[in-house]
Structure 1
Amino acid sequence: MTAGGFSAPSPLPRSSNMSSHAPGPAGAVPPSPPLCPASRTAARTALALLTVAATAAAAWAFAGTLPDVSAWLRWPLVGLFAVLFGWIALSFWTATLGFVSVLLRPTPAVIPALPEDFDPLDLPPTAVLVPVYNEDPTRVCAGVRAMLDSLRAVCPEKGGAARRFDFFLLSDSTNPDVWLAEEQAWADLTDALPEGERVFYRHRPENTARKAGNVADFVERWGDHYEFMVTLDADSLMAGPTLVEMTRRIAADPSCGILQAPPSPVGRTSVLARWQQFAARLYSPVFLRGFSLWAGTDGNYWGHNAILRVEPFRACCDLPVLPGQAPLGGEILSHDFIEAALMRRAGWGVRLAEDLGGSYEECPTTLLDWAKRDQRWCQGNLQHGRVLWEARRRVRQGSGGLAAVSKLHLAMGVMGYCASPLWMAFLILTLTAAAVGGEQWAAGAVEGGAGFDPAVVGLGLFGLCMGMLILPKLYALFAAARSGQLDEFGGVLRATLGVVCETLLSALVAPIMMLFHSRFVLTTLAGRVVKWTAQSRGEQAVTWSDAVRAHWPAAAIGLLAGLAAGLAAPQSLLWLTPVALGLILAGPTAVLLASRDAGLCARRWGLWLTPEELDPPHVLRRHAELLATPPTAPDAASSVSADDGPLFGRVLRDPAFFALHSELLAATDADRPLPADARDRIEKAVVQGGPEGWARLTPADRRAVLGDRRTLAELHARTRMNVTAA
């Protein structure tokens, strides 16, 4: 018992009570390296041939329309067109392969039904990691409790499956009041759990290597106790049967190192969020099936909602530090693709469980939040180009390289952001060529060309590109109708209307994101480093003034581009009008997409409905119930301001809260004594400030005090004396 009668659960797994959970020895080499069956080879061959053939034909047709007067622009234009068209073609043919497979073998992603003879005791003990960084602790702990409740409901007659999964809240939070709120929320959570269910908490004094370092720290400290670990994000939710089935599958496949469950975005109500939730839920089956066909055991890892084999991860996935300085050098930000490539290089399989439902996450609710998230991802993905270069150099030196498909995944990650500046360059060069070509381009009979009317060819290529972007959506609509799933999206008419509206919004948003991504790529290449900040998880409206301030450059660029095209090259308006219109309307679009009221109105009309909205699974219902329940200690768990420090003051006044924090510091090896001069400076500031002198401390000083048991104890004793005297 701690001071004040508060009983603090053990914060860490200890060898004394974990020895029975330790797995048998596991090496860094899989017992049977996965092979590439003929069906996967055929899928890869078909994908490559179709993509190359379509790209070559389209590039040839495009080249034949360019006027000779623009010969100095011909090859850059053709090259850019080929790269961009090839990017579209790769996605289109992947969806086409998936569509054919879905028609032949319709197995929609669902929360799995476990065998009747399943016994939770047969499951190996598995760790579930929830890394957090300045998140809302109440929301995170509600998610953990909802997942435990869902696990408990698996085979309840046999005791449920919750006792086979140990949850770990792995905190990298730098805000001192968020840190304290995490401890309080964790203590409240563990007090509410049945006996035998365990949630552990650890705060890392230094957030070295960000999330990758957070997970690596767990693996080094406590990985020996578990054969498998599930990695989540702070906003992740997974149904109990899905967690159980993932564990069963990876345990049954000794060659599998990573099994990724595709997450579906849920739980948000803004227009942007509901549009993304609908699109991801309806369209992803055909894309994921196609990806799974050609990737097979050479799949990818998305950093969360996946289960990993711990020992191979420890042995194979130590991330390299790239040569040079950030942003392209130093620590790798987007660690997930690299970890999958390293796991694959060691011979372990990386699979996508595209048939599993019950895997969820949250998505951004405004354009600016979307852009901020993408800016972090952009820097990390551009580092993948450096990784590819270093891998090539290692091969030349005789060291082991990466698998070919792993290189493709990394290149696709780079292209996901570089496509935007390439598209922008293509539009600029197209406008320039049209202006320079003038009458020759408009006339069509170009010497040395293919003899086609450029207007007809341009219209055909534009229609082809649009068709390749839209047809996969129709694939998904037809596949859902054929399997009887459209009722889960509101019926045929509402689902079809949802696809139409989603397509129109996508057309408006694409040019805006092109500008954002182009700026991110260029500033990253220029040396700008992205700061690691907490993600925005709430739903906030965007005011008109905020929208104008954020998007007036896009509107100005759209107006200037439209005017330039109309005056200098009217024949290019076919290509440029959709782009210019999207940029001009960037401000109103941002306001609309962030509107929660408009999103709820769309829901009342039956627009962008998803199966999770119409019939929420147990884990989502439970999560919503927990969030709707007022916290038991509002002063402790709901106030996380870094300015007024209410929780910091409470840890100095409340013996029970002080004891909880002190025990956690000791148990997690997080005690970091302050230098004598810093301790004296802080104590002097507190003494001079009177009874509330602690409020004068900066957030950095508060964090330092919270990490030093001795200084905290002295301030706690002094504060208690002041309280008693008062």
Structure 2
Amino acid sequence: MNQTTQNSGLYALPNEAPLDMPRHVVNEIRQTAKKQNQHFFVTTLLSRLFVFLGTLGLSAYGAYEMYAVLSTNHITWLQWLFLALFCVNFTWISFAFTQATLGLLFKLAPFKRKRKELDATGVTAILLPVYNEDPVRIRASIEAMHEDLLEKAPGKFAFFILSDTNRAENSIKEKHTFYPILNQNTEACPIYYRRRLNNAERKAGNVAEWVTRFGNDYECMIVLDADSLMSAECLLSMSRRMAAEPSLGLIQTLPTIIRADTLYSRIQQFANQCFGPIYAAGLTTWHGNASNFWGHNAIIRTKAFAEACGLPILPGKAPFGGHVMSHDFIEAALLRRAGWGVRFDTDLQASYEEAPPSLIDVMVRDRRWCQGNLQHKAFVKAKGLHFVSRMHLMTGIFSYFSAVFWFALISVGFALAVQAYFVKPDYFNNLSLFPNWPVFDFEKARSLFIVSMGLVLAPKLYGWLSALLHWQQCRKFGGPIMLTLDTLLEILVSALYAPILMFSQFLVVMDVLRGRDSGWKPQSRDDGANKWKEATRAHIYHTILGIGLAVSSYFLSPQLFYWSMPITFGLIFSIPLSWLSGGSKRGNLLSKFGFLKGPEERRPSEIVTRLENKLTQLEQHSSELSNIPLRAYINNVDFYAWHLAQLPEQENNQFDRHKVCATWLIEHSDSIEDLMAHLNEQEHLAIIKYRSLFLRLSKFLPEKVTDTNHKAYA
């Protein structure tokens, strides 16, 4: 594309500024770390010792107590297996408890860390990767942030909408929605758009393609998701902190969940806003400058990213080989290996995201995340990685494998119950005068169960306590009574959904281990209102398992039946619980009674209010496109000219059957409706991809326009 066209305002991108991004291999030598603040180094070291020793001590206590529970004189091989599985699960909850305890200590501490800030020079890019998303929601978010930045930080930022959308209808709707706001305020805060035709390496490849084409002009880039939102103050503070800390390669914020309107998303929203800060405070304290990246709502030093984060291609086929799916964890690890600091700044406010609307949507997302996390096994032993980076990878893997150990623990527990019921014990199998009694210490079992539940629930109680002690925060939750009621409601509902999710994750892990690839599906952004048929299809195996466990436990022992009810109840009623999880009508009914209303719903910040106003204004826009998307070009000559300006003048001369077929269909169609009635998806994509083919659509325009006219117009 020539210089005149790029500067015309019709072209959607600025001049290119290439930046080399070499591809790395799994095993490389670690580079010397950049210098960090010595005070923070000491605090981080002490925090890591606290987490390690706390987890080790609790795990040892749990193992000792369970050993005492199982038998007073002899343990069978099945009981040894039960003990081993219990230790694994108990260590996992001890690790979470210790981190949350550390977080509470720092949340209640009178002294807070103050991050250095310095005015940044140059422009920071804000990247919004898009993949078959609702363009109206994205435009509303961009306009809200854009207006905020024009008022508070003109000339400091530039937006890039990076589209990987690969469906013709979605692509046209996307372009039609975005093109009116592109290249406005080019000096103060421009908005650019690029659609990538080759979706190689998914989101990681999308961002990497931008880095190699435009990265050299931008010191830093802020990566968002399609549902992300940030205030101008937050964006400015992020860029200033990067300017003040030249050793940092990445700063991750703690996104707050907003706009929840279903039962399940409201549960996630409350947990995120009440309990999330406690976990986050613990994480940021022991992570230090070797923290993690969650793929969005973070700022990255562009040249550091280009230098360190060219992802390797793993040997073999998916799900374990090929391109790296969960790229964010690996990018954080590679930045740290290259010597750059990766920091988690939980004090940055007004960083937002949205939650999946229903249980089924969470299960769909978990399928993709599970495959990505299990793929990380190739990096756990990689040379040069910081040990905290390895911890991130291992905890990501175990976050899904914990479901396998949980299911195995239940299975072995039931096997022990079956053995006790059907197998006649041989008390004198060792030819001794003294019998070998298979004794269980039920008092110790009850005590250990209470301790285990305490470890699981403590982080939630920490969040409740922290909010209660900070009066301003407590008021945002509706006061101490509503805060307490919402905490209890969240604990109850989460307990019902927990066994459903755990069994789903168990099935997902088994699916990945069998070698099935999840593919790349867009995230659901609707209200998740599922039909009964969909809920039944998704949870029929949960229901069968729950009924089977309940019936067998009641047959074996009434006590076992009651002990297993926290698991079996949720599984048996998984279908209605899943149906209830989605749907805004059902979810908003809670808010009418004041339940599960987060602080941002009770007292929304300025940027959230801007977003809601923009969404209201743009609701009409979503209905402007007819059922025939190509008509958008015919009804609007300016839009037709804009799209034409994005298409390269030089085309690939290789034979394209879809292009040939689309050409014939255009020539033999009398109207756009007639054309659309015969086009398939690939032919539709060809029309909006090839300049020569797109020009043929001009036969349907109200006035004849030639390619020369469009060049002159551009």
Give TM-score, length-normalised by structure 2: 0.89
Q: Which amino acid aligns with 2:460?
A: K
| 1:312 Cα deviation from its structure 2 partner | 0.9
Is the contact made by 2:251 and 2:299 (CA closer than 8 Å) also made in structure 1?
yes
The one-character-per-residue Cα deviations of 1:502-524 (angstroms, maximum 9, x if unpaired) are 00111100110012101110010
Equivalent in the alignment of 1:157: none
Check whether the contact 1:264–1:359 (CA below 8 A) recurs between aligned residues.
yes
TM-fit CA distance, 1:332: 0.8
Cross-structure match for 1:487: 475
Count how many residue pairs are aligned between Structure 1 and Structure 2: 679
Q: In the TM superposition, what are the counterparts of 1:62-77 in structure 2 within 5 Å?
A: 62-66=66-70, 71-77=76-82
Distance 1:493 1:653 in 2: 57
Change (3 A) 1:102 1:449: farther
Residue in 1 that maps onto 2:400: 417
Tell me which amino acid in the other structure corresponds to 1:252: A
- Counterpart of 2:660, as a letter, is D
Question: Which residue does 2:612 correspond to in 1?
Answer: 624
Alignment counterpart, residue 666 of structure 2, candidates 671, 686, 690: 686
Residue identity matched to 1:493: I
Contact preservation (8 Å) 1:257, 1:308: yes
Q: Is the 8 A contact 2:267 2:596 kept in 1?
A: yes
| 1:184–1:449 Cα change, 3 Å | farther
Q: What does 1:300-699 align with in structure 2 at a 5 Å threshold? A: 300-389=292-381, 391=382, 400-438=383-421, 453-484=440-471, 485-573=473-561, 575-630=563-618, 638=625, 644=627, 646-651=628-633, 654-666=636-648, 675=655, 677-691=657-671, 692-695=673-676, 696-699=678-681
Contact 1:674–1:708 under 8 Å retained in 2: no
1:170/1:449 CA distance change after superposition, 3 Å: farther
2:9 matches 1:11: no
Q: Distance in 1 between matches of 2:528 and 2:494?
A: 21
Superposition deviation, residue 589 in structure 1: 1.1
8 Å CA contact retained: 2:496, 2:570: yes
Q: Is the 8 A contact 1:279 1:502 kept in 2?
A: yes
Distance 1:281 1:681, change over 3 A: same
Structure 2 equivalent of residue 24 of structure 1: none
Q: Aligned partners of 1:706, 1:223: CA distance in 2, in Å?
A: 27
Aligned to 2:202: 210
SS at match of 2:342: strand
Q: What do residues 369-424 of structure 1 show as CA deviations (whole Å, max 9, x unaligned)?
A: 111111111100110112224x1xxxxxxxx4211010000000001111112101
Counterpart Cα distance in 2 of 1:693 and 1:410: 54
1:206 is displaced (CA, Å) by: 0.8
- Secondary structure in structure 1 of the residue aligned to 2:76: helix
Q: Provide closer, same or farther for how the CA distance between residues 673 and 600 of structure 1 changes in structure 2, counting only shifts above 3 A.
A: farther
Closer, same or farther: CA 11–723 of 1 in aligned 2, 3 Å: closer
Distance 2:235 2:436 in 1: 59
- Structure 2 letter corresponding to 1:78: L
Deviates more, 1:689-698 or 1:489-498: 689-698
Residues 172 and 281 of structure 1, relative CA distance in 2, 3 Å threshold: same
Alpha-carbon shift at residue 46 of structure 1 (Å): 1.6
Corresponding residue number in structure 2 for 1:222: 214
User: Partners of 2:435 and 2:344 in 1: how far apart?
Assistant: 49
Q: TM-score, normalised by structure 1?
A: 0.87
Distance 1:30 1:454, change over 3 A: closer
- Residues 94, 31 of structure 1: CA spacing in aligned structure 2 closer, same or farther, 3 A cutoff? closer
Distance 1:450 1:342 in 2: 56
For residues 237-256 of structure 1, the aligned pairs below 5 Å read 237-256=229-248
Shift in Å, 1:438: 4.2
94-103 vs 454-463, greater mean Cα deviation: 454-463
Shift of 1:674: 6.3
Conservation of the 8 A alpha-carbon contact between 1:427 and 1:576? no
- Secondary structure, counterpart of 2:70 in structure 1: coil
Q: Distance in 2 between matches of 1:374 and 1:306?
A: 22
| 1:292 correspondence with 2:284 | yes
Kept after mapping to 2: 8 A contact 1:141/1:186 = yes
Q: Partners in 2 of 1:134 and 1:600 — Cα distance?
A: 27
- Cα pair distance change 1:549/1:680, threshold 3 Å: closer
For 2:630 and 2:258, how far apart are their aligned partners in 1? 34
Which stretch shifts more, 82-91 or 433-442?
433-442
Consecutive unaligned residues of structure 2, counting only runs of 5 or more, are: 1-7, 19-30, 706-714
The Cα shift of 1:40 comes to 1.5
Aligned match of 1:707: 689
The answer for the alignment partner of 1:395 in structure 2 is none
Tell me if the contact between 2:183 and 2:191 (Cα under 8 Å) persists in the aligned partners. Answer: no
CA contact (8 A) 2:11 2:642 kept: no
The 1:685/1:275 distance shift into structure 2, 3 A limit, reads: same
- Closer, same or farther in 2 for the Cα pair 1:723/1:12, shift >3 Å? closer
Paired with 1:361 and 1:496, the residues of 2 have a C-alpha distance of 25
Instruction: Evaluate the alpha carbon distance shift between residue 575 and residue 163 of structure 1 in structure 2; reply closer, same or farther with a 3 A threshold.
Output: farther
- Structure 2 counterpart of 1:57: 61
Q: 1:200 to 1:672 in 2, by over 3 A?
A: farther
How many Å apart are 1:451 and its aligned residue?
9.9
| d(CA) in 2 for partners of 1:40, 1:539 | 41
Partner of 1:397: none
Matched, 1:717 2:698: yes
> Contact 1:139–1:627 (CA<8 Å) still a contact in 2?
yes
What do the CA deviations read for 1:427-484 (whole angstroms, capped 9, x no partner)? 0101101221349999x9x999999853222222221111111111111111112121
SS of 1:65 mapped into structure 2: helix
Q: Would you say the 8 A contact 2:12–2:182 is kept in 1? A: no
What is the 5 A alignment of 1:5-154?
8-14=9-15, 32=35, 37-66=41-70, 71-105=76-110, 122-154=120-152
Please tell me the residue identity of whatever aligns with 1:702: H
1:537 maps to a residue whose letter is R
Letter in 2 for 1:629: Q
Offset of residue 673 of structure 1: 5.9
Distance in structure 2 (CA, Å) of the matches to 1:677 and 1:494: 63
Q: CA deviation at 1:106?
A: 6.9
| AA partner of residue 424 (structure 1) | F
Q: 2:21 — aligned with what?
A: none
Aligned mates of 2:145, 2:573 — CA distance in 1: 42
Instruction: Tell me, in whole angstroms, the C-alpha distance in 2 between the residues paired with 1:187 and 1:433.
Output: 65
1:479-508 superposed Cα distances (whole Å, 9 cap, x missing partner): 112121111001101010001010011110
Kindly provide the amino acid, as one letter, of the partner of residue 693 in structure 2: T
Alignment CA distance shift 1:13-1:261 (3 Å)? same
Aligned equivalents of 1:561 and 1:269: distance in 2?
34
Gap change, CA 1:106 and 1:144, over 3 Å in 2: farther
Q: What is the one-letter code of the residue matched to 2:85?
A: L
2: CA distance between counterparts of 1:335 and 1:448?
Answer: 59
Distance 1:467 1:206 in 2: 51
* Residue aligned with 1:322, SS: coil
Deviating more after overlay: 701-710 vs 487-496: 701-710
| Deviation for aligned residue 1:31 | 5.2
Q: Deviations over 1:210-245 (max 9, x none)?
A: 000000000000000001000000000011100000
